[in-house]
Amino acid sequence: DAGITQSPRHKVTETGTPVTLRCHQTENHRYMYWYRQDPGHGLRLIHYSYGVKDTDKGEVSDGYSVSRSKTEDFLLTLESATSSQTSVYFCAISDPRGGVNEQYFGPGTRLTVT
């Protein structure tokens, strides 16, 4: 299994509070991704990173920010949590040599915003 951990694994927070989720990899992969998973929507990309300090937005980036100061860590911050951000968040990594972007996923973080 690819070495990907996410912390925390579960979190309950109140509306309006900031929340930071952490993804840590030991594979030295260049690309890292944050997705959210909601019933009926599959996985939707929030933000991704293609190197240290290099990040870009995905399709559902509003209300989220990311940072990557080291190859192994990719942080997702909910600036002011809302109930619509209750979801399961997955981090993924990839090393798309030859153009094939197969991804390896972390175990997920279940976030509940009350």
Partner 1 sequence: AQSVTQLGSHVSVSEGALVLLRCNYSSSVPPYLFWYVQYPNQGLQLLLKYTSAATLVKGINGFEAEFKKSETSFHLTKPSAHMSDAAEYFCAVSRDTGGFKTIFGAGTRLFVKA
Chain positions contacting partner 1, by CB under 8 A: 4, 31, 33, 35, 40-45, 48, 50, 56, 58, 90, 92, 94, 96, 98-108
Find the shortest distance in angstroms from Cβ 10 to partner 1.
Answer: 11
Strands 54-57 and 42-51: antiparallel
Nearer to partner 1, 47 or 85 (CB): 47
Nearer to partner 1, 33 or 64 (CB): 33
Helix (H) or strand (E) holding 85: none
Nearer to partner 1, 19 or 93 (CB): 93
Q: Tokens 């860590």 identify what position?
A: 73
Tokens (6 digits) for 93: 């990594």
Contact 22, 11 (CB under 8 A): no
Find the shortest distance in angstroms from Cβ 23 to partner 1.
Answer: 11
Find the shortest distance in angstroms from Cβ 61 to partner 1.
Answer: 12
What gap in Å lies between CA 101 and CA 9, rounded to an integer? 26
Find the shortest distance in angstroms from Cβ 26 to partner 1.
Answer: 15
Nearer to partner 1, 8 or 107 (CB): 107
What gap in Å lies between CA 14 and CA 50, rounded to an integer? 32
Question: How many residues are present in the chain?
Answer: 114
